[in-house]
Structure 1
Amino acid sequence: MTAPPSVIVALDVPAPEAALDWVRRLKPAFASGSLAASQTPCFKLGLQLFCLGGPDLVKAFKAEGVDVFLDLKLHDIPHQVEGACHALKDLGVKYLTIHTSGGLAMMQAAARVFEGTDTCVLGVTLLTSLDETHLDTFFPNSALNRSAVVPHWATLARQAGLGGVVCSAYENQAIRQAVDNTLALVNPGIRWPGDSHDDQKKVVSPQDAARLGANAIVMGRSILGANDPLHRCTEVLEALSAVCP
């Protein structure tokens, strides 16, 4: 039996108090249904919220009994990233993101800090807001495309000792062909069928992400912007259970 992907709720809201309110509102969705025993509620805390609330906000999330996806996308020279990781280590987050484009040495530095802990360091490949047009802007006349770049960076992430990568669900299969199955695939850009794509270029439904082999999906606006966010969150969990019974 294939386990359904875990659901990470993205709290891209402008204030720490609002984020905590969402945590309390949505936690009950994870306390019932077929997925209740298999996953702890997990919420994404991004750069804006971390700049506003800092480590104390992470601690407040954890005090609510939820896991934290700390989406900082660290990208600097190896020494600086290593120092930042040491500063974050004791927070006990479930996931921490760094950019794979920072290079092998930078990724290795982050992986060393969290070795032996419960924190999974994830390498962000190409943002789902980017497409081939952006690659051509970055690297003129290179003929680079996502299908070549993303699996290569995922391979480097595995070599560096990272626990997983953040990638579009459409790239899961190519990564699986390049890297073994122990590398976790976390897919953002997930939208409930019929919802707006907003600024995302690579959008997929929760059900299709599960079929494409996601280990976890990140959903924000499709849940928070729904008429009944708690019901929508429950719908997502039930839909994933149906795809991966």
Structure 2
Amino acid sequence: MLKLNYSNIPKIIIALDFYNKKEAMKLVNLLNPSLFYLKIGKEIFTILGKKFINELHKLGFNIFLDLKFHDIPNTVFNATKAAADLGIWMLSVHASGGKEMLISAKKALESFKKRPLLIAVTALTSITQEDLKDIGIKISLQDYILILSKLSQDCGLDGVVCPGKEAKKIKLLCGNEYKIVTPGIRCLNDSAFDQHQIITPKQSKKFPIDYIVVGRSVTYSKNPIKKLNFIIQSMQ
């Protein structure tokens, strides 16, 4: 039986990184919507679309729609508004889209009485210092993340997606109310896959993280509930 005391640990978002509905629902049907949030990314949204989100809402789940909008301001405005129309709890844009794009995303939500949280992706967990160099960015990855975090806050966003090890600096810069969402959560015996900026569930408790995103550690597991139990126990 899964038990969580969310008073002192990050809240858990489970990424439904599946290629078909049957596999996704095998996991969803094991989960309590009062304990877990669900993340819908590009893969499963492309396959199943808004109908699947509506089905998850009927089951009582809050949805993080993680499509990482990154386009010209007008396009992002319309895409953000369309996403919010789905009644989602949280959505993401890329902070590197720039000030005008971020402000447009924020403006798109002004007409909603109950708007979703708007979160900016700073740097993907797969990004390395060498990757930044390849695209002509000469500052450190840490400074790059901090600059994008402050820019996103200045544009009125609610928080950022960032590596867990940067959470403390971001909270000091942007304040405790600024939300931190951290992917790349890996148990010690898990593969890192294509991610470089990773932390363990136990480490996540040490940082001021509001939400952790758990994906392949659980979805690739033969016993996902056992794995979730282990992650929860590691944080408590």
TM-score normalised by length of structure 1: 0.88
1:154-173 aligned within 5 A:
154-173=149-168
1:239 and 1:64 mapped to 2: Cα distance? 28
2:133 to 126, 131, 136: 136
Per-residue deviation, residues 30-84 of structure 1 (Å, max 9, x unmatched)? 6xxxxxxxx5421111001111111111111111111111110000011001111
Offset of 1:118 from its aligned partner? 4.0
Structure 2, gaps ≥5 residues long: 1-5
Q: Name which of structure 1's ranges 96-105 and 142-151 shifts more when overlaid on structure 2.
A: 142-151
Offset of 1:234 from its aligned partner? 2.2
Secondary structure of the residue aligned to 2:22 is helix
The answer as to 2:117 corresponding to 1:120 is yes
User: What is the aligned partner in structure 2 of residue 234 from structure 1?
Assistant: 229
1:175 and 1:68 mapped to 2: Cα distance? 24
Q: Which has the higher helix share?
A: 1
1:136 and 1:178 mapped to 2: Cα distance? 25
1:7 to 12, 16, 20: 12
* Identical amino acids, percent of aligned pairs: 29
User: What is the aligned partner in structure 2 of residue 98 from structure 1?
Assistant: 93
TM-score normalised by length of structure 2: 0.91
1:189 and 1:86 mapped to 2: Cα distance? 28
Higher relative contact order (CA 8 A, sep 6+): 1
Contact 1:173 1:212 in 2 (8 A): yes
Contact 1:147 1:174 in 2 (8 A): no
User: What is the aligned partner in structure 1 of residue 45 from structure 2?
Assistant: 50
Return the letter of the residue paired with 2:224: P
Structure 1, gaps ≥5 residues long: 31-38
- Equivalent pairs counted in the alignment come to 229
1:189-200 aligned within 5 A:
189-200=184-195
Offset of 1:120 from its aligned partner? 0.6
1:107 to 88, 93, 102: 102
